A and B are shown apart, each in its own frame.
Chain A
Amino acid sequence: MPTDLLHTKSRLQKAVGVALGVSMTVGVVLYLLWEGRLRYYSTPSRVSVVSTIAAILIVATLLGHGRQIDRSRLWSTQISTATREWRSLDRRAVFSVVVWILLFVAIVGWDLYSFSREVHQLPTLSYLIGRVTRFSLGRSAVYALWLLAGFCICIGHRRPRSRLDTREGRSS
């Protein structure tokens, strides 16, 4: 009997999990389709984006509490140490980081230059993305990518919960 009971409980848990997963997926898809129909400068679009940002910030704070890999001070110290002692680091790694920085500066710099000139011949990056987001499906797709990026930044690369935390029932 207890085995049957355990089996039923496990099946019920699985069914609830699947139902929750399906409901959430349907909910997110409906939200994205609704978001795609919104226009720039409209109040619903602003409320929607601000609510999403607020929700992600709250979730990041709750789920990230006590689960960061490094302390911020140590992290900033690592930057200054690496900058000072770059000669002792792997040259290929240093070279690749320099190329990333140059690419980032080139993209941001060109975007700022185009923005400052305000001529049709020099479109900004957001203007080009606007060619996609002016359509409902395009806006939904870009919004989905933005949401996914926010979710990854929010919960990604956190310290695994230690045994001590689990034993004490701590959530962060």
Chain B
Amino acid sequence: MGLSTGELVWTALGALLTIWTSITFFHSRLVTVIEIVRWFLRCWVGRALLLLAWGEAGWHLFCQHP
């Protein structure tokens, strides 16, 4: 039972994301994902954008997806 094409791509993307996240945490001059989130949270517009994405994700994952 092998992985489908889509599952392979998702696995590769997940691996890339994990590797890049680790690299940024170990190199002090690289921007981490936490710094990006904190930058968005500096003002109302950025915070509202994140809240919008968060709300949409919740609605989609817990109410719509079969």
Contact = CB atoms under 8 A, between A and B. Distances in A.
B1 interface: no
A57 B63 CA distance: 19
Contacts of A25: none
A129 B66 CA distance: 11
Nearest to A74: B43
Nearest to B38: A157
Given A93-B30, A99-B20, A153 B66 contact: no
Contacts of B66: 40-41, 130
Of residues B45, B47, B63, B66, which shows the largest number of chain A Cβ atoms within 10 Å of its Cβ?
B63
B66 to A, nearest CB: 6
Contacts, number: 136
Interface string B49-60: 011001101111
A136 interface: no
B61 A126 contact: yes
Interface residues of A, number: 59
Tell me the dominant secondary structure on chain A's binding face: helix
A125 B10 contact: yes
Nearest to A107: B13
Nearest to A149: B54
Contacts of B64: 40-41
A146 B61 contact: yes
Interface in A36-54: 38, 40-41, 45-46, 48-50, 52-53
A143 B36 CA distance: 23
Interface stretch (A15-23, A64-72, A164-172): A64-72
Contact of B30 (A92, A120, A126): A92
18 contacts: A40-B63, A41-B64, A45-B62, A68-B42, A72-B44, A75-B46, A93-B29, A93-B31, A97-B31, A103-B17, A122-B4, A127-B65, A130-B65, A139-B62, A142-B61, A146-B54, A157-B41, A157-B42
Interface of B: 4-7, 9-10, 13, 16-17, 20, 24, 27, 29-31, 33, 36-38, 41-47, 50-51, 54-55, 57-66
